[in-house]
């Protein structure tokens, strides 16, 4: 179900996504790990908003596939990546849902990054401390 403001709700009714509407950038060890104007905010009942980014906007040379996989009862199986930035290796810092349940949203091609594992986050060039709710 789509709304005029760009929100899309999953058939399961508990997850929706919407455009963030701002450029989001995250840094680690002085390197930009993601910089995108195409991020989405995932809204899930009983959870804080979570930002997801096109995987194409996270430089591939920072991503190393992890052996970790988890299952979300609302979205499907998550696959993880370690972030390798210089000498730093942040285990399981990025996750994605390459396949989804029939009643969930298709998040293939998007990944999320644990907020507290980055050095800094910015929206439209201004440093922020948490994902915005709107």
DSSP 2: B
- Taking the chain (134 residues) in runs of 10, the rounded mean pLDDT of each run is 72 91 96 97 91 97 98 94 96 95 92 96 94 73
Identify whether the C-beta of residue 90 lies closer than 8 Å to the C-beta of residue 116. no
Q: For the chain, what is the domain count?
A: 1
CATH code for position 74: 2.170.150.40
User: pLDDT digit string (tens) for 12-26?
Assistant: 888 999 999 999 999
Selection from 95, 132, 87, 86 nearest residue 113 by Cα: 95
pLDDT of residue 5: 66
pLDDT of residue 122: 97
Range of the structural domain that residue 21 is part of = 8-126
Is 63 among the domain residues?
A: yes
DSSP 107: -
pLDDT of residue 13: 86
The answer to whether the predicted template modeling score (pTM) of the entire model surpasses 0.75 is yes
Region of 13 on the Ramachandran plot (φ > 0 left; ψ -120 to 50 alpha; else beta)? left
At residue 33's C-alpha, the angle toward residues 73 and 53, to 5°, is 40
pLDDT of residue 120: 97
Is 77 among the domain residues?
A: yes
- CB-based burial label for 134 (10 Å; 0-12, 13-18, 19+): exposed
Is 134 among the domain residues?
A: no
């Amino acid at each position: 179900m789509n709304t005029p403001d760009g929100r899309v709700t999953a058939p399961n009714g508990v997850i929706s996504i919407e455009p963030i509407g701002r450029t989001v950038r995250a840094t680690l060890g002085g390197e930009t790990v993601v910089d995108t104007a195409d991020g989405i905010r995932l809204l899930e009942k009983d959870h804080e908003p979570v930002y997801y980014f096109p995987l194409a906007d996270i430089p591939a040379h920072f991503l190393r596939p992890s052996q970790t996989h988890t299952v979300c009862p609302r979205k499907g199986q998550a696959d993880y990546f370690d972030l390798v930035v210089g000498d730093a290796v942040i285990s399981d810092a990025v996750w994605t849902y390459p396949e989804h349940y029939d009643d969930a949203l298709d998040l293939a091609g998007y990944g999320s990054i644990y907020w507290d594992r980055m050095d800094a986050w910015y929206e439209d060039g201004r440093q922020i401390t948490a994902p915005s709710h709107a």
